[in-house]
Amino acid sequence: MCRFVFLLGIGLAAGELVLMLRAAESIGGLETFSLIILTAAVGLRYARFETASLPMRLQKQQVGTTQAALEAALLSLGAFALLVPGFITDAFGILCLIPPTRTLIAYFIYRRIQNQMQHIPANEIFARTSGHPFSDYKSGSDSDPVSGRCDNNNGDIIVVQKKQKSDGQESDT
């Protein structure tokens, strides 16, 4: 996966460079530079407007919480793509900023995640691949400082919950 992302990044950079050089040959270097700066400025301004309108749409129940989270992530990704100089990333950024295409992309991402989750057995979703999830945490015990979970070295997970005593103090059970 890491190799794929690396090769994708190299390919994207090469494609952006080729497109910018071709654009500079046909319309001129200063015009190409101005176009890249203009798309970044306009795109960021539009992203700011769309980001402000997303909570209002969520309050009016026009979109669900999961869809709103995906759309917010796509807005951020689109704004970042517009900051990266180049025409390919600008096209992707604009697609992420326009509401109908952003909703369509969010729908396809949601469906893909949903399909992948349906094909994974429930015992594999929660299975640990190796060791304790906080193996770097050294305190003399195998306790998880965040959730209060403990590993008893047999692979079992013990959840420690706090209960209120009658005098108002908390105790671990």
Question: Over the stretch 85-107, which tens digit does the pLDDT of each residue have?
Answer: 889 998 998 898 888 998 899 88
Domains contained in the chain, number: 2
Structural domain span for residue 154:
131-162
Shared domain for 108 and 136, answered yes or no, is: no
Shared domain for 99 and 71, answered yes or no, is: yes
Shared domain for 59 and 144, answered yes or no, is: no
Closest CA to 72 of 106, 29, 36, 23: 106
Give the pair of three-digit tokens for residue 44: 């960021």
Establish if 85 belongs to a structural domain: yes
Shared domain for 150 and 111, answered yes or no, is: no
Establish if 167 belongs to a structural domain: no
Cα-based angle 45, 87, 32 (whole degrees, multiple of 5)? 90
Establish if 170 belongs to a structural domain: no
DSSP track, 19-68: HHHHHHHHH-HHHHHHHHHHHHHHHHHHHHHHHHHHHHHHHTTSS-HHHH
Contact 53, 102 (CB under 8 A): no
**Confidence at residue 15, expressed as pLDDT on a 0 to 100 scale:** 93
Contact 149, 126 (CB under 8 A): no
Establish if 1 belongs to a structural domain: no
**Confidence at residue 171, expressed as pLDDT on a 0 to 100 scale:** 53
Block means of pLDDT (10 residues each) for the chain, 173 residues, are 87 91 92 89 79 72 73 86 88 88 89 82 56 48 48 51 58 52
Shared domain for 60 and 22, answered yes or no, is: yes
**Confidence at residue 101, expressed as pLDDT on a 0 to 100 scale:** 92
**Confidence at residue 52, expressed as pLDDT on a 0 to 100 scale:** 77
Shared domain for 116 and 32, answered yes or no, is: yes
Shared domain for 40 and 108, answered yes or no, is: yes
Shared domain for 67 and 116, answered yes or no, is: yes
